[in-house]
Amino acid sequence: MRFAEVLPEDAPDPRVEQTDQVRLMPVAVVGLAPQPSLQETNAGVGGGQDGAGYFEMSTSLSYTLWRNPSDRSDPLNLAELDEQTRAAIEEVPPWPRPQWLIEQVEQMRYPQLAEAVKTTWFRESYEHTTLTVVLAQHTNYILTNWYRQQRGLEGNLWDAPAPDVTERAVRHGISVRIDGSDVIGAEIDTDPFVYCVGAELPTGGILTAVLPRDDLAYIRLEFTTRH
């Protein structure tokens, strides 16, 4: 007998399908430049369609953070976990698991920059497709979904008050380095938990990044086209 929630050992790796979905993006996906402190772990794709096909698409990249990449056994690399999460990681079920699932569970021991870098494309431009709007939306999404404990929130996502980040917090005219060149972009530098930066891409897409303020010292804030 196999329970519905138990994945068979040969269950396909969802990252394969994610890679195929990323290829559907009409513009090149941009991520943080390769660096020892970061390991890309996931690429999530979302979008909206109508009778003519996709009218918007986005790819969000997640990373594992290594505060001491030269020694991954260093306790400095470990995330701060509550007892429930730690117990879930340590528990080994009595049935075999897919190797990719074991790897994902192991990654939970380390800090995750979940959905930190996003490339967004719109088929048409209008007032809600600007860099200002997209950067503020990405910021609020990360704060709502990944900083609940830090913000003292309990219960369901839909019961929580919206973060106090609005389009007025966006400051334009900063320099953002992409593929070795500096482009004019924007930032949100008003939130105590995250620092946010973005820029319009030459391909027509929009790059946004929402990064933990406490870990900025370990991250080189530079971006490259992802291949």
28, 63, 64, 20: which is closest to 45 by C-alpha? 20
Give the whole-angstrom CA distance, residue 128 versus residue 86: 41
**Residue 11 above 80 pLDDT?**
no
What are the tokens at 144?
Answer: 């709502």
**Residue 142 above 80 pLDDT?**
yes
Task: Work out the mean pLDDT of the chain and round it to a whole number.
Answer: 88
- The pLDDT score that the predictor gives to residue 62 is 97
Q: H-type helices in the chain, by residue range?
A: 14-22, 83-90, 99-107, 131-146
Per-residue burial over 80-90, b if 16 or more Cβ lie within 10 Å, else e, is eeeeeeeeeee
Decide which of 227 and 84 is more confident: 84
- The pLDDT score that the predictor gives to residue 3 is 39
- The pLDDT score that the predictor gives to residue 160 is 59
Q: Which of 30-44, 73-87, 127-141 is predicted least confidently?
A: 73-87
Across 72-94, average pLDDT? 85
